[in-house]
Each structure stands twice: as structure tokens, then as C-alpha cells.
Amino acid sequence: MSAPLPAAFLDRLAAEFPGDLVSREAADLAEYGRDWTKVHVPAPALVAFPRSTAEVSRLLALCNEHGVAVVPSGGRTGLAGGAVAANGEVVLSLERMRRMDPVDELGNTVRVQAGAVTEAVHEHVRPLGLTWPVDFASKGSSQVGGNIATNAGGVKVIRYGLTRNWVLGLQVVLASGEVLELGGALEKNNTGVDLRQLFVGSEGILGVITEATLKLTRLPGKLDVMLFAVPDLAGVLRLFREAQAGPFTVMAYEFFTDVCVARQRRHRSVRLPFETEASHYVLLEVERSEPDALETWQAALFEKELVLDGVVAAHAQQAQELWSLREGISESLAATGMPHKNDIALPVAELEPFTAEFQRLIDERYPAFEVAIFGHIGDGNLHVNVMKPDEMEKAAFLAAASALDEGMFELVQRHHGSISAEHGIGLLKKPYLHWSRSPAEIALLRALKATLDPKGILNPGKVIDPAPLVRTPGG
């Protein structure tokens, strides 16, 4: 059991803040104390809903004074346990902080509060022909602050890069309550270390992001969506090379296996837009240049025998249907069984040898496991989902999956990859961080944490553990 919150803390919370700042309702504690992992039982002490940076600052200063742990909370769409509050913490929800300022049309920027929902930002800037090109399936509930704190990826990374590329300035509150303004709306600022980047991807362990100045770009022009059947992963990569040289700009390059299609068919009414069955499928979205050039490129794919079959969406509805074959995978896996998920990244050149070695690992040690793989292969990101055999006990499966993780992460390290491509480290990936970060890097992370949050109140237990105590002789 976690210790109750100090009475002096609660007295000042009641006396110095609005009456509707906090909730102790059981439903709110359960909802805001967990993220999409749903692995740990949520058990926060209370949930706070500030409306401004000033309130966040005052609240963090009070928590810091009394040593009260705080878990920053956005849309809670992460899959690494980064927003879990299971030990009597105060959950700091930014969902009331949704202000979006007018767009600076000359500088192509917009200032928003951290609780602004990703899709709402898209709609806010769309009438001006602009977009914030951070986009993924959870855009209807994910929040800007969480996107930045996890350096979120998504389906358009191949075209636009990660979230950090589209953040010019941050407003951050430290554990002490001190407010930092970092970067503003400057494109160029060569005044030493870029402190803004310390907080991008830091998962709330160094400070709480409360506002951001976002960089915008023009909306893409005419988009074409295509689906191709290819014989194997090598075929996926051959087609990728061909797409890179195509007469268009590649916006998204996704792939999924036949196992993913089979699981979707078990879950809902799904059909491929062609008769050919294959082991691998590629979804390609491009910004069109000339229609005739696109048709010529597609015809050449069949002449070169790079694809087994393929189709181009004839209209927006069909494009949406093709995308649903990719975006519906995670839901179908969860609806038809128990998936053990991993989100890894490899250099694109290492994808084929890694996958071959990983398949041998499965065949030799875990032949009963069904593995569904999909991902943003243009940027080397694989989502590896191992499905629990129906007859296998949950505890036995989790133990075997944990052992499999060790073997897979060893392969990831050997092929110069990362154990987490998009969802961060949080709680779930923390035991495996050493496969991607050296002891020197982890020591530096701990030093940063100790400097910016000396009492360790911000998202404790996530990403890294505190540095071990070093006892002096006789101490």
C-alpha cells in the first residue's frame, strides 16, 4: 500500500486552489490512472485538472514541497505504461488546457496548450491550407503535450519525420514550479545547447510541458493510395526502393503480413480488393505529380515482376477502405486474442537480416506462437505482436513472451536498432533499456533527472530508476 497524501498538502490544496481542480471519484481514478497498456491496476490518490500554466506551476511547487509524486497525463494513448499511476500519485491531467491561438500565417506557426487534441489542431489550421503533420490512428484522443513528451511517430514519419521536427518552442514547468520558455517561434536560435530538445521524448520525468509553438506546413495536394501484394519481406523492400525513385512524393509506406489480414477477417468483415493472396502487403500513399506518370510507374511494377497484384483507390471511400486494412490491425489483434506487443526500429538496410534471424528464433524456440508483424517500414519501424495460443495459460505465455523479448532485443542490438520506436520506455520497456542505451548514456539520463527533479517527484519509476546509493566506508 502507498502512503496517504500528507494532511498539510491536502489542507493547502483545498485552501489555495479552485474547488473543481481535483477529483477523487472512483471512475476518474480508474480512467486517468492508466494508459492503453491496461497492465497495471490504477491507484492514484487524486486527479488534478489545471486550466493554466500558472496553476500547474503552483501545484507542482506544492507537490515538490511535500514530496508528493506526480504523473503527467495527456490522452493516455501510449503503449509503454508511461502514464500509469499505480502507487497513490497525483495524476496531473492537461485535458482542460486546450486553448489554440490564432495561426501566424506569415511564420506558419501556432501556439497551443498541451491538452489540445491532435485532430483538433489539424482542424484548427486546415482552413488556411496548413497542417501540423503529426498524424496517427489515435489522433482523435492523443494530446499535443503527450505527443511531444513521447516524440510520437505515426504513419507519415517517412515524409515529415518525428514530432520533434515540428516543435519550435516549449513552455515547461519544472518540479520546483519554475516555468521555462524555450525556443519561442524561432526557426534559428544558435545560442548553445537546445534545452527544448531535453523535454521532447522525456516522458514527463524532467518537466511538464504546458504549451508549445508548433511548426506548420502546407497541406499535401492530390493523394493516391495503393495496395500491393508482394511475395515476401524482400519484395516489400524492393518495392520501397522503386517507390523512392517514383514520380511522386512518398507520404506513407506501410506493410502488414497475411497473419494480420487473417486476424482482421476473424474480427470483422474484411476483404482484400483483389483475389491474389500473399504473405506480405504494402500500402503506399503518395502525393501525385502527373497522373500519366503514376500509371506508367505502376505498369512498370508488373513488367519488372515486383508485385503480385495491386490496386489504386478510385475515390476517397476506397482510399479509406485500404487504410482500414492497416489501421484496423491492432484492434483486431486485441479482439481475437491476447497480443504481446513490441514496437522496435531497425535501420532499413537491417530489416531483412533481422527478420530472418527473428523468424528462426520463433521457429526454434516458440513454434506454437503466431506472430503478426506490421509497421512503417519506410522508417524501419516494426510492430511485432506475438499472439497467445488459445490453449496456453496466461501466466505461462507472459513468462515465455518475456524470454522471447530478451532474445529479440539481443537481435535488435546486434542489428543496431532500438527497442522502442514510437511509444517510449515508460514502465514496460524499462528493464530492457540497456539493449539500446549504454551505461554512460543511462548515467547521463540519471544525472539530468537528479538536476531537474532532485526529489524525484515527476513520473517516478518511468524510463530509469534512480542512481544506486554509493556508501562510503564507515557510512
Kindly report which listed range (183-197, 242-256, 347-361) carries the lowest average pLDDT score: 183-197
Predicted confidence (pLDDT) at residue 71 exceeds the cutoff of 70: yes
| Residues β-bridged to residue 229 | 281, 309
What would the grid cell of residue 263 be?
486476424
- Pick the closest to residue 434 from 409, 405, 466 (CA basis): 409
User: In this predicted structure, what is the pLDDT of residue 470?
Assistant: 40
CATH class of 337-423: alpha beta
pLDDT at 468: 53
Give the residue extent of every domain in the chain: 7-93, 109-218, 223-330, 337-423
More confident residue, 100 or 327: 100
Average pLDDT for the chain: 92
Residue type for position 206: L
Phi, psi (rounded to 5 degrees) for 52: -150, 165
Worst-scoring range by mean pLDDT, 100-114, 234-248, 454-468? 454-468
Q: CA-CA distance, 253 to 156, in Å (whole number)?
A: 8
- Inter-CA distances, 65 with 48, 52, 405, 444, 455, Å: 17, 20, 40, 25, 9
CA 420, 423, 428, 430 dihedral sign is: positive
C-alpha cell at 365: 524456440
Q: Residue 471 has what pLDDT?
A: 40
18-21: long-range pairs with CB below 8 Å, 24+: 20/49, 21/48, 21/49, 21/50, 21/55, 21/59
Separation of alpha carbons 60 and 180, rounded Å: 14
State how far Cα 14 lies from the chain centre: 35
Choosing among 1.10.3720.10, 3.40.50.300, 3.40.50.720, 3.30.465.10, the CATH entry for 109-218 is: 3.30.465.10
Print burial letters for 71-99: b (CB count within 10 Å at least 16), e (below 16).
bbbbbbbbbbbbbbbbbbbbbbbbbbbbe
- pLDDT value for 424: 87
Question: How many residues can be counted in the chain?
Answer: 475
Same fold yes or no, 109-218 and 337-423:
no
- Over residues 219-235, the mean pLDDT reads 95
Torsion angle of C-alpha atoms 162, 164, 165, 169, degrees rounded to 10 = 160
Return the pLDDT at 297. 95
In CATH, 7-93 is 3.30.43.10:
yes
> What is the amino acid identity at position 156?
K
Would you say 30 and 85 are in contact if contact means Cβ atoms under 8 Å apart? no
pLDDT in tens, 171-226: 999 999 999 999 988 888 888 899 999 999 999 999 999 999 999 999 999 999 99
Q: How many CB atoms lie within 10 A of CB 391?
A: 6
DSSP class per residue in 190-230: -SSS-THHHHTT-TTSS-EEEEEEEE-EEPP-SEEEEEEEE
Please write the tens of the pLDDT for every residue from 395-420: 999 999 999 999 999 999 999 999 99
Return the C-alpha torsion angle 199, 378, 154, 252, nearest 10: 140
Is the Cβ–Cβ distance between 198 and 454 less than 8 Å? no
- DSSP states along 261-302: HHHHHHHS----SSS---SEEEEEEEEES-HHHHHHHHHHHH
The CATH class of 223-330 is alpha beta
